[in-house]
Structure 1
Amino acid sequence: MVHATTPVLIIHGGAGVIKRDMSPAKEKAVRAAMTKALEDGYAQLKAGKPAMDAVTAAITVLEDDPNFNAGRGSVFTHDGKNEMDAAVMDGDTLRAGSVAAVHRVKNPILLARAVMEHSPHVMLIGDGAEEFAKEQGITLVDPSYFRTEERWQQLQKALKEDGEKQPHADLETARHFGTVGAVALDAQGHLAAGTSTGGMTDKRWGRVGDSPIIGAGTYANAQCAVSGTGWGEFYIRTVAAHEICMKVSMLGEPLQRAAAEVINQEIPSMGGNGGAIALDNDGNIAMPFNTDGMYRGWIGADGVPHVAIYDNEPDPSNQPPAAPSSASAPNE
């Protein structure tokens, strides 16, 4: 299948209870970081690089920014540690790589990509993943690098509430279970997806969410790429990212409808919430979410970064999906 494709990049920085009284300084910093992520990722696509290069370039920017729950801004576990997860998937080859429960990897998304490209495996965890990182020359840092006062105070608040709530019942705490992610379509018509997260504030027992689980929070094939953000247990149980892509590639559903059915119907019907970004090989965009907001951004044919946070901000997924191109077949 040959495409004459206009590259597209979509990113997210997490969905949740995003307050409209966010300080102007913080909102400005968040929008600036997302704009830089879009610019750095899209520069790869404009240079003719593969979608995977755009995905990892964009996510690396967000991992390095303490305003996002990934990399530098990761939340704390119940035991006061940072445990990070990440995954990537290449839609053209169906190759994938992921890591979970790493403590010292500066950019977990780069380690996930190394797992995909330089190991015979798909998922590595904990100490073994960090041993592999050393072998691959992936940057390791002291765990103190990930400590931010804001995240530490969120943990202290959550610890005070322990025994009085179920996970995510307190909205002030629940808003920090975001992730970062990216999906991209390159000039060759190939798709890729990636997701990186610090997990859930106050999580225990080595809990792993959906982000590093291929098909749950991260998935890409030849027709569709998805990165999710939300209450991970429900994304795992619905295999949310894979289900969206199967609706598109096997059932021929329009991307926006497929994404909305899973994110805004199926997951809430089970008691979960969150959002996702999705992209098909015709360049259609979907960014459904059922929370107060979702940090999200996109850049396409106009070459201009667009960033939105709140639920009433316009985005391309508010537009009707484009008609499928004659070069695409639902079940290819």
Structure 2
Amino acid sequence: MRVIALAVVLASLVTGSAMAQPKWAIVVHGGAGVIERADLTPQQEAAYRAAMTKVTKAGGEVLEKGGSALDAIEAAIHLLEDDPLFNSARGAVFTAEGRNELDASIMDGATLKAGAVAGVTRTRHPISLARAVMETSPHVMLMGSGADTFSKETGLEQAEPSYFFTERRWRSLEKFLAEQKLPVPPRPTGPVVADEAAALAHDEGKYGTVGVVALDQAGHVAAGTSTGGTTGKRWGRVGDSPIIGAGNYASDASCAVSATGTGEYFIRLTVAREICALVEHKGLSLQAAADEVVQNKLTALGGDGGVIAVAPDGQMAWSYNTSGMYRARLAAGEPLTVGIYKDEP
């Protein structure tokens, strides 16, 4: 009888453990950087919290209905790319030449297929272009005018360059170029889309990026990242966001990671892949792996930024070595968590 009783207890523990694992999960970031309480007005803080809440819930709804991790990521990043609060698409920073050049990548943890684009200028949603590269082309990465041509031929929504213009980002460029003693290019022409939210955008420095990682009910993870790059970037600079393994990576064998920060350091450390490798090959928990790479390796190298991550078993994590990071997470049966500052969970 004792043996039977013990078997029942063990079975209940196993069942309870399985039940504790969320059937889906999503983690979102809107960029890391110099983000402190004294930097944001109450109106700005409220706007960012509301935006992160909206985006995370939208992705969660896709997952709750049985949608794929890829679908949830694309839906969530669409909202981020349309929101001028964030440095991606609609709110992208300007290059030294006065252009908005957009980068994005997406990766499917189930198949290890990936798609990325760099320096695109006419696609409203670069994350959708990255997914199109992954799913409808034989390539992983396209750049510049070729990527824009592929976007148009694929039938993705196009936008005039002026669509991405925001006054606050333009002023940030003028300030940056003045500090660097570089000439200010002519102000872009064309119809500008008015948006009151653009006036609330906070200049978090050179770290702005958006990203989403998700776990779907089929047990698959995926990751997506989208950015406008760095203010005043020159010579066709490309950061880590479209680099698979650096700013973005996903594998069902380990986890999915999206990064934000000083891209050159994330490329040199292959941050996203390194976190996944520590989970897969060293058996570290997701949080421990993220902290090892961000708090130790990245910091030791002199790099700034952060990551979000999710694992097939439902673990969620974020880690950053800057003063703040716009972040949120949500899982089946768990409450929504939204944070901005270092002293928040």
| Fold conserved between structures, TM > 0.5 | yes
Amino acid at match of 1:206: G
Is the 1:193–1:220 contact (alpha carbons within 8 Å) kept by the matching residues of 2?
A: yes
| Superposition deviation, residue 163 in structure 1 | 5.4
Aligned partner of 1:76 among 86, 89, 94: 94
The 2-side partners of 1:20 and 1:145 are apart by 31
Is the 2:207–2:305 contact (alpha carbons within 8 Å) kept by the matching residues of 1?
A: no
Amino acid at match of 2:305: G
Amino acid at match of 2:50: A
Is the 2:247–2:272 contact (alpha carbons within 8 Å) kept by the matching residues of 1?
A: yes
| Superposition deviation, residue 249 in structure 1 | 1.0
The 2-side partners of 1:304 and 1:44 are apart by 16
Is the 1:177–1:201 contact (alpha carbons within 8 Å) kept by the matching residues of 2?
A: no
| Superposition deviation, residue 251 in structure 1 | 1.7
- 1:293-324 CA distance string (max 9 Å, x none): 0000001123543211000111xxxxxxxxxx
| Superposition deviation, residue 80 in structure 1 | 0.8
Amino acid at match of 1:75: V
| Superposition deviation, residue 201 in structure 1 | 0.4
Is the 2:106–2:115 contact (alpha carbons within 8 Å) kept by the matching residues of 1?
A: yes
Pair 1:242-2:273 in alignment: yes
Give 2:187's aligned residue: none
Amino acid at match of 2:28: I
Is the 2:101–2:119 contact (alpha carbons within 8 Å) kept by the matching residues of 1?
A: yes
| Superposition deviation, residue 261 in structure 1 | 0.9
| Superposition deviation, residue 38 in structure 1 | 0.8
The 2-side partners of 1:74 and 1:5 are apart by 34
- 1:53-75 CA distance string (max 9 Å, x none): 11111111111000000010000
Amino acid at match of 1:108: P
Is the 2:32–2:204 contact (alpha carbons within 8 Å) kept by the matching residues of 1?
A: no
Give 1:20's aligned residue: 37
Pair 1:218-2:248 in alignment: yes
The 1-side partners of 2:275 and 2:181 are apart by 36
Is the 2:206–2:261 contact (alpha carbons within 8 Å) kept by the matching residues of 1?
A: no
**What does 1:47-62 align with in structure 2 at a 5 Å threshold?**
47-62=65-80
Aligned partner of 1:134 among 125, 148, 152: 152
Aligned partner of 1:276 among 287, 290, 307: 307
Give 1:209's aligned residue: 239
Give 1:318's aligned residue: none
- 1:128-180 CA distance string (max 9 Å, x none): 1111111111111111111111101111110111159xxxxxxx976243100
Give 1:190's aligned residue: 220
Amino acid at match of 1:241: A
| Superposition deviation, residue 93 in structure 1 | 0.3
The 2-side partners of 1:50 and 1:16 are apart by 30
The 1-side partners of 2:97 and 2:181 are apart by 16
The 2-side partners of 1:90 and 1:239 are apart by 18
Amino acid at match of 1:134: K
The 2-side partners of 1:89 and 1:15 are apart by 21
The 2-side partners of 1:40 and 1:216 are apart by 26
Give 2:341's aligned residue: 310
| Superposition deviation, residue 32 in structure 1 | 1.3
| Superposition deviation, residue 262 in structure 1 | 0.7
**What does 1:1-332 align with in structure 2 at a 5 Å threshold?**
6-21=23-38, 22-162=40-180, 175-222=205-252, 223-302=254-333, 304-314=335-345
TM-score (norm 2): 0.86
Q: Unpaired runs of 5+ in structure 1?
A: 165-171, 315-332
Amino acid at match of 2:216: D
Higher percent of residues as helix:
2
| Superposition deviation, residue 31 in structure 1 | 1.2
The 1-side partners of 2:204 and 2:67 are apart by 37
Is the 1:155–1:201 contact (alpha carbons within 8 Å) kept by the matching residues of 2?
A: yes
Aligned-residue identity in percent: 55
How many residues end up aligned between the 2 structures?
305
Is the 2:96–2:232 contact (alpha carbons within 8 Å) kept by the matching residues of 1?
A: yes
TM-score (norm 1): 0.89
Is the 1:183–1:194 contact (alpha carbons within 8 Å) kept by the matching residues of 2?
A: yes
Is the 2:31–2:261 contact (alpha carbons within 8 Å) kept by the matching residues of 1?
A: yes
